[in-house]
A and B are shown apart, each in its own frame.
Chain A
Amino acid sequence: MKTSMSEQEKQEEVLTPETKTANQPVTRENTHDLVIDVDNVSFGYVPGKDVLRDITMNINRGEVTAFIGPSGCGKSTLLRCFNRMNDLIPTAGISKGEIRILGTDIHAPEVDVIELRKHVGMVFQKYNPFPKSIYENVAFGLRIQGINGKQALDQAVEESLRYAGLWEEVKDRLNASGLGLSGGQQQRLCIARAIAVRPKIVLMDEPCSALDPISTAIIEELITKLRSEFTIVIVTHNMQQAARVSDRTAFFYLGNLIEMDRTTTMFSNPSKKQTEDYISGRFG
Chain B
Amino acid sequence: MSETPTSADSFSGRDAFKRRGFRILGIGLQDVIRYFFGGNASLAIVLIILICFFLGREGIMFFPAHHEGLGSYRQAGQEFVDYMGEEIDAHTKFYSAANIAYFAEVNESSAIEDAQIATARAVLANVETITRKSWNLLERKIEEEVGLAKKVAGLAEGSPEIPEVQQMLETRRSEIEKLRVTLRAEVEAALESPDAWSTGGSDRGVGLTNIEKIREAVLFEAFPKAKEEHPFLLELKAASKTKKADTAARLIAFKTTLTEIQSAVKPLRTLHGELRKHATENRAVINSFKSAPQRRAALLAGAENVDDPAEKAKLQAEADEVVITEPDLVAMNAPLYAAVSKYAEVSLPLKAEMERLLQALPSTVSTESARENLDRSRSAYGSFKGVQKANRDRIPSWRHDLPVSWIKSFSAFLFGKQWITNSSWHDFYGLLPLLTGSLMISVIALIVAVPFSIAAAIYVNQLAPRREQEIVKPAIEFIGAIPSVVLGFFGILVLGEMLREVSQVEWLSWVPGFPMAERLTILNAGLLLAFMAVPTIFTLTEDALENVPSAFAENSFAMGASRLQTVFRVVLPTAASGLIAAVLLGFGRIIGETMVVLLVAGNKIKIPDFSEGFGVVTQPTHTMTGIIAQELGEVDGGSLHWRALFIVGMVLFVIALLVNYAAQQALKRFQKV
Q: Which residues of A contact B (CB under 8 A)?
A: 83, 85, 88, 114-118, 121-122, 124, 126, 128, 130-132, 140-141, 143-145, 179, 190, 193-194, 197
Contacts and interface: CB of A to CB of B under 8 A. Distances in A.
A61 B561 CA distance: 25
A122 B673 contact: no
B562 A131 contact: no
Interface string B528-564: 0000000000000000000001011011111111100
B379 interface: no
Contact of A124 (B555, B562, B570): B555
A143 B573 CA distance: 15
Nearest to A80: B558
B603 to A, nearest CB: 47
B569 interface: yes
Given A132-B573, A143-B569, A144-B565, A121 B559 contact: yes
B569 A114 contact: no
Contacts of A141: 559-560
B467 to A, nearest CB: 11
A78 to B, nearest CB: 15
24 contacts: A85-B554, A85-B558, A88-B557, A115-B560, A116-B560, A117-B560, A118-B559, A121-B559, A122-B558, A124-B554, A124-B558, A130-B552, A130-B556, A130-B573, A131-B574, A132-B573, A140-B559, A140-B561, A141-B559, A141-B560, A143-B569, A144-B561, A197-B559, A197-B560
Contacts of A190: 555
A128 B552 contact: yes
Q: Which 9 pairs, one residue from A and one from B, show the smallest C-beta to C-beta distance?
A: A118-B560, A117-B560, A122-B558, A131-B673, A141-B559, A128-B551, A144-B561, A144-B565, A131-B574
Contacts of A124: 551, 554-555, 558
B interface SS class: helix
A88 B562 CA distance: 12
A124 B551 CA distance: 9
A141 B559 CA distance: 6
Q: Which of A115, A128, A131, A145 has the most CB of B within 10 A?
A: A131
A190 B573 CA distance: 18
Given A114-B562, A117-B557, A193-B559, 11 more contacts: A83-B558, A85-B558, A114-B561, A117-B559, A121-B558, A121-B559, A128-B549, A130-B573, A131-B574, A144-B556, A144-B561
Contacts of A197: 559-560
B560 A145 contact: yes
Given A124-B551, A126-B551, A131 B560 contact: no
A88 B552 CA distance: 14
Q: Which of B551, B555, B562 has the most CB of A within 10 A?
A: B555
Nearest to B548: A131
B560 A114 contact: yes
Nearest to A83: B558
B523 to A, nearest CB: 39
A280 B555 CA distance: 35
Nearest to A117: B560
Contact of A117 (B552, B558, B570): B558
A130 B554 contact: no
Contacts of B554: 85, 88, 124
Interface residues of B, number: 18
B551 A131 contact: no
Contacts of B558: 83, 85, 117, 121-122, 124, 194
A216 B554 CA distance: 23
B390 to A, nearest CB: 56
B560 A130 contact: no
Nearest to B670: A131
A116 B562 CA distance: 12
Contacts of B569: 140, 143-144
Interface string B480-504: 0000000000000000000000000
Given A144-B565, A144-B569, A128 B555 contact: yes
B673 A179 contact: yes
A50 B106 CA distance: 89
A83 B562 CA distance: 14
A191 to B, nearest CB: 12
Contacts of B561: 114, 140, 144
A130 B557 contact: no
Interface string B72-90: 0000000000000000000
Contacts of B552: 128, 130-131
Contacts of B565: 144
Contacts of B549: 128
A83 B559 CA distance: 10
A88 B556 CA distance: 12
B573 A85 contact: no
Contacts of B574: 130-131
Nearest to A141: B559
Contacts of B551: 124, 126, 128
Contacts of A115: 560
Nearest to B553: A88
A130 B562 contact: no
Nearest to A115: B560
Nearest to A143: B569
A279 B558 CA distance: 31
Contacts of B573: 130-132
A37 to B, nearest CB: 21
A190 B549 CA distance: 16
A190 B562 CA distance: 19
Contacts of A126: 551
Contacts of B555: 124, 128, 130, 190, 193
Contacts of A85: 554, 557-558
A60 to B, nearest CB: 22
A190 B555 CA distance: 9
B577 to A, nearest CB: 10
Nearest to B562: A114
A144 B564 CA distance: 10
Interface string B564-592: 01000110011000000000000000000
Contacts of A140: 556, 559, 561, 569-570
Contacts of B557: 85, 88, 117
Interface in B223-277: none
A140 B565 CA distance: 10
Contacts of A128: 549, 551-552, 555
B39 to A, nearest CB: 39
B672 to A, nearest CB: 9
Contacts of A193: 555, 559
A130 B673 CA distance: 9
B31 to A, nearest CB: 41
Contacts of A122: 558
Nearest to A199: B560
Contacts of B556: 130, 140, 144
B69 to A, nearest CB: 56
